[in-house]
């Protein structure tokens, strides 16, 4: 009997740059110290972004697990917008173009959402059933837009730091075929003051 497939996707805990509402894509910041309880002490292996904030979050949540880093699970490369805030960028014409169409437009020396989606989906499809994944807000929104039962746009998904999404497919065939999951649940490790 097929019991279905579940994949758990977690957004990393916040960093100082996140608190300042900066674009923190490929910048390798540490998380702000946080008191969180481990999720699954029996988990052997966690997958995730190769950036420090994802690794540190995984260490806190899965203290007995190994960590398999994959740069394809990184946040968007914000290029010249990296480390800056909306207030610092809002007057720039290229920034306005990117905000209006982030799917095909990219920050100077950065990535479009289409480029991010291609690498994230490639890596996600290679995860084993039951995988635990620690990654970033952009990749999680892309996965929700692609696989959630309810079809919604990228920006409509709220993905606070410490959010936990459980994707469930009724069968391995549905998962392998890339169908939308049959159920999705969300939990939160901490208060949702950061989005």
Which residue has 């579940």 as its token pair? 6
| pLDDT at residue 2 is higher than 80 | no
Please determine, for residue 3, whether its predicted confidence score (pLDDT) is greater than 90: no
Q: Give the H or E element holding residue 132.
A: strand 132-135
Please give the pLDDT value at position 191. Answer: 53
Share of the chain above pLDDT 90, in %: 81
* 195 has pLDDT over 80: no
Arithmetic mean of pLDDT, 93-118: 93
Average pLDDT over residues 101-126: 94
Average pLDDT over residues 71-97: 95
Predicted TM-score of the model (pTM): 0.92
Looking at residue 194, its pLDDT comes to 40
Q: Average pLDDT of 70-88? A: 96
CB 49 within 8 A of CB 134: yes
Q: For residues 186 and 165, is the Cβ–Cβ distance under 8 A? A: yes
Mean pLDDT for the stretch of residues 124-139: 95
Per residue, the 3-state secondary structure of 9-71, as one string, reads EEECCCEHHHHCCCCCCCCCCCECCCCCCCCCCCCCEEEECCCHHHHHHHHHHCCCCEEEECH
Q: Which domains does the chain have, with CATH numbers?
A: 5-75+112-188 (3.40.50.1240)
Q: Is the pLDDT of residue 40 over 80?
A: no
Q: Average pLDDT for residues 51-55, to the nearest whole number?
A: 97
Average pLDDT of 65-90?
A: 96
For residue 192, the model assigns a pLDDT of 41
pLDDT one-digit tens code per residue, 154-194: 889 999 999 999 999 999 889 888 899 999 999 998 754 44
Mean of per-residue pLDDT scores for the chain: 92
Strand partners, 47: 68, 133
- Of the pLDDT bands very low, low, confident and very high (cuts 50, 70, 90), residue 35 is confident
Q: Distance between CA 160 and CA 147 in Å, rounded?
A: 18
């Amino acid at each position: 009997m097929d019991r279905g497939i579940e994949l758990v996707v977690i957004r990393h805990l916040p960093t100082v740059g996140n608190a300042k509402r900066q674009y923190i894509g490929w910048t390798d910041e540490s998380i702000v110290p946080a008191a969180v309880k481990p999720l699954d002490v029996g988990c052997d292996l966690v997958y995730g972004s190769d950036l420090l904030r994802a690794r540190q979050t995984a260490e806190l949540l899965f203290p007995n697990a190994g960590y398999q880093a994959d740069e394809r699970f990184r946040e968007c490369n914000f290029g010249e917008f990296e480390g800056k805030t909306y207030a610092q960028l809002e007057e720039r014409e290229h920034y306005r173009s990117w905000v209006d169409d982030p799917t095909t437009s990219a920050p100077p020396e950065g990535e479009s959402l289409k480029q991010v989606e291609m690498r994230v989906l490639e890596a996600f499809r290679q995860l084993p059933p039951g995988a635990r994944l620690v990654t970033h807000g952009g990749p999680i929104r892309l996965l929700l837009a692609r696989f959630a039962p309810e079809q919604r746009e990228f920006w409509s998904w709220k993905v606070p730091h410490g959010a936990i999404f459980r994707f469930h497919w009724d069968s391995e065939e549905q998962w392998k075929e890339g169908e939308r999951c049959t159920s999705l649940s969300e939990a939160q490790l901490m208060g949702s003051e950061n989005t």
